[in-house]
Structure 1
Amino acid sequence: MAEASGPAKRRLERRIMRRLGLRSSLDRVWQSVPAAVQIGVAAVVAYAIGHYLAGHELPLIAVIVTITTLGFSRDARPGRVLETVIGILAGILLSALLVLVVGRGVWQLGLAILLGALVGRALSANPAVAVAAGVQAVLVVLLPDPAGGPFLRGIDGAIGGAVALLATALLPRDPRGAARRDGLALFAVLEEGTLSAAEALRRGEELAAEFALSRLRGTQRLVNDWTTSLESAVAISRISPFLRRRLPELRSQGRLLQAGDLAARNLRLIARRIEFLVRDEQPREALADALGETAAAIRELRDGVTNPSALAEARTRLERLAVRLDPASLTSGNVSDAALVLMIRPLVVDLLTGTGLDADSARALLPPL
């Protein structure tokens, strides 16, 4: 029976993983629809301008530059778009000059790729710019010259870059969507890790503490993702007449991001401390309750990513918790447990700043030591 259940269990696990993989793929497709629409419309506009207005027979470079510049990157800031455009144009013009001086051939192709990539690296720290510049260099060297000469492709590249910049402002993706998703993901992990840490204290269970620590160790990537998507959303909203009204909401997310970043750092330290404490297998109900309330507040902060009114509930909960964080009353004089309370206090202060309360007012709520 045990042998039969083993293969059945593995088949079940494979089915679950396939379903999760399919769901993840569908989520990616759905989330990419705005970017795909933006890229498609912008590429058509770039082709129309190059062909019908500029009179170029095949403005291939204009279309390629538009697609390459916009892309599906998480970071869609106008500055990044402009940086990519400059790198691509430099690769095009440098390769056109190279064709005029030394002609076309195998070694000329290698030289064009080398110079294009190096120029791209010189102009931007983003590796994608160097790759894009190298690709454009390949097209200039391998494709026959248009009727107006190789430098005509520089005009097509400028058309594509200008259309990409206009699309960023006038046909923007929903920058709040990615920022919201990243914020929700961070606070979900913070809540899960805090609940597991509270459970470890409540049961005196080292396994729960290890799980909490393993979850919280992965938060830095989530912080970095949210930082990138939020900075991109703010930059796009500043130049887009359709999104400028979203700036207050995005600034509120900025406070939550800062609070979440600091909270993640504190929670990693707290989880390590708890992993050491619970080795005695003794329950610590008062400390578990304090962390349980912290987890509930984190859940309300997570709701605040999409609904700023939820931040008031989080502030009320955290204020009630802050006044209770007296090491002497929560730990009955146990020095090791008191040290944990001292670690929870700055965590609560950091979370309170995410609700809009200034740090000094948050610290003033704590019992004196």
Structure 2
Amino acid sequence: MTIRLPDAQGALRTYEPRQEPLAPHSGAPFSSRTVFSAAHVVADPFADVSPDSPAAVDWDATLAFRRHLWAHGLGVAEAMDTAQRGMGLDWAGAAELIRRSAAEAQAVGGRIACGVGTDQLAAGSLAEVRAAYEEQLAVVEESGAQAVLMASRALCAVASGPEDYLEVYGHLLRQAAEPVILHWLGPMFDPALEGYWGSGDLDAATDTFLEVISAHPDKVDGIKVSLLDAQREIDLRRRLPDGVRCYTGDDFNYPELIAGDEQGFSHALLGIFDPLGPLAAEAVRVLDTGDVAGFRELLDPTVELSRHLFQAPTRFYKTGVVFLAWLAGHQSHFTMVGGLQSARSLPHFARAYELADGLGLFPDPKLAEERMKNLLSLYGVNQ
């Protein structure tokens, strides 16, 4: 069987889908790396909502996908940008997601870390930013999950310089009950975060970031760096205090960063591990045996798909992630909160399908082919 797919120029070409998926093996928990997959939310397709309405979430399908990730040994990074925080999922929805997912994690013994931000606040003073962070931190800690202190649009807007970041983060770290993960999300993921840490100069911003960490190393489990700059992450990783982990958030260069070098390595907290979950888990188990070459052999071929999904405008990568979840059978529809399913083009979807199919990511290749053909037909492409 073949399928006709549009290319970037709008011409149709014939593609022959894969017949058999990969068959990743489950196994023991990871021993050499701590690995989180940031997870997407599944919208309720029957909710009568508009793009400006509060998110309507299909809780059963959303939690089922988290169980899928835990079953393969991955941790879940919850209520972060992959879950459309600030792009369809408001704080009320995120709080409910945190409570439900944390309870599910406790029920199945899964690892979970949840995003703490200030998205209930459009703008405000430094005191109001602190209070917003505190409200969210309390929700995460009460749920029993690890906290991820995410970058704040409101803080970026109100801060007058590095000293305001030092004050706010120092205040939060002093009161955190357990060590947290600090998340530096670059402007390619959220343009409103340009100049975070008080400077548009990344070297100066890095110095402020490290100053926050060095002042409270006992309260920082690790950092998640999402700047899509492998060398900058490596340089930052080498400057961390002992015991503070680096979790790569680089969806362009993750195999080499996780594999590491003679001076260290990165753990992982990645949105791309949402669609790559079983394959990523198998690769990390190979790495656990000390087989770096085998790890790279499995994971390196996935980079082309990741770079495609995360191409500019990078913040719309969530659309591709949910699209692949639909093709893989993890949800019954391709609808997103906030109507974000419209954020990528048909040629983009076609290439994502082709790359994912080539990697063997679809448990049922025939189902994926049928769903891709159904989508194509909506755009007037007859097979």
TM range, normalised to the smaller chain? under 0.3
Of Structure 1 and Structure 2, which has the larger fraction of its residues in strand? 2
Larger Rg: 1
TM-score (norm 1): 0.23
| Structure of greater relative contact order (alpha carbons < 8 Å, 6+ residues apart) | 2
Of Structure 1 and Structure 2, which has the larger fraction of its residues in helix? 1
